[in-house]
Amino acid sequence: MEKRTILCISREYGSGGSEVAAKLAEKLGIPCYDKELVQQAAVDLGLSDELVKSIDEKPVSWASMGFPHGIRNPYRTEFETLFYNLNDRVFTIQAQTIRKIAERGSCVIVGRVADDILRDDPDLVSVFVNARQDFKVQRTTTLENISEKEASDRMRKMDRERAKYYNYYAQKHWGQCTTYDLSISSSRFGIEGTVQIILEAILPK
């Protein structure tokens, strides 16, 4: 695409937001970054993918905050190189990677507070993909081969963790419509319909 576009996709668990992001990148002919950010952070930190994945988009607990407890995360202070736990280290590395990716040109980035990290970028478009509970349960049970109860429990846990993670590192609130440029229901429009609506919103007329 000719016009530079940085598209950041946040999503509810089970809504198909990652699939929407991948399809958008394919149609736009630009790269999509999701789990690649985890892998790059692992390389940069000299840690295993599994270890970094285990804390990816997970909130920082009081037990892991270190001393002094009164200090927030490094992203919220002028001392961005200061961190007290592995969660903050991973976030700091991912934030640096996200900025470098955006500097290279158009791309789609999934989660990882990318929309707030890049909030001053004039070409940023932030999108939140949500869906009805029944739609998310059906998708999750089918894709992960688990029961409806397991799907509901996992969705509730993952969304709670994503919200805490986002609200901790960002200057906005996860899932609120005022946080994003566009909030859209994949259960109302379907995955393909959601992709098309986003394309129509961001492509020049």
Domain segments of the chain as ranges: 6-202
Q: Please report the pLDDT score of residue 60 as a whole number.
A: 65
Distance (Å, whole) CA 35 – CA 13: 15
Q: Is 66 left (phi over 0), alpha (psi -120 to 50) or beta?
A: left
User: Residue 5 to residues 85, 106, 180: CA-CA distances in angstroms?
Assistant: 33, 5, 15
Q: List 185's β-bridge partners, or say none.
A: 130
Residue 10 is given by DSSP the state E
Look up the CATH number of domain 6-202: 3.40.50.300
CA distance 8 to 192: 18
Q: Which residues of the chain have pLDDT under 50?
A: 62-83
Q: According to the model, what pLDDT value does residue 100 have?
A: 92
User: What local confidence, expressed as pLDDT, does residue 70 receive?
Assistant: 38
Which residues lie below 8 Å from residue 55, measured CB to CB, with a gap of 6+?
86, 87, 90
Query: What pLDDT does 69 receive?
Result: 39
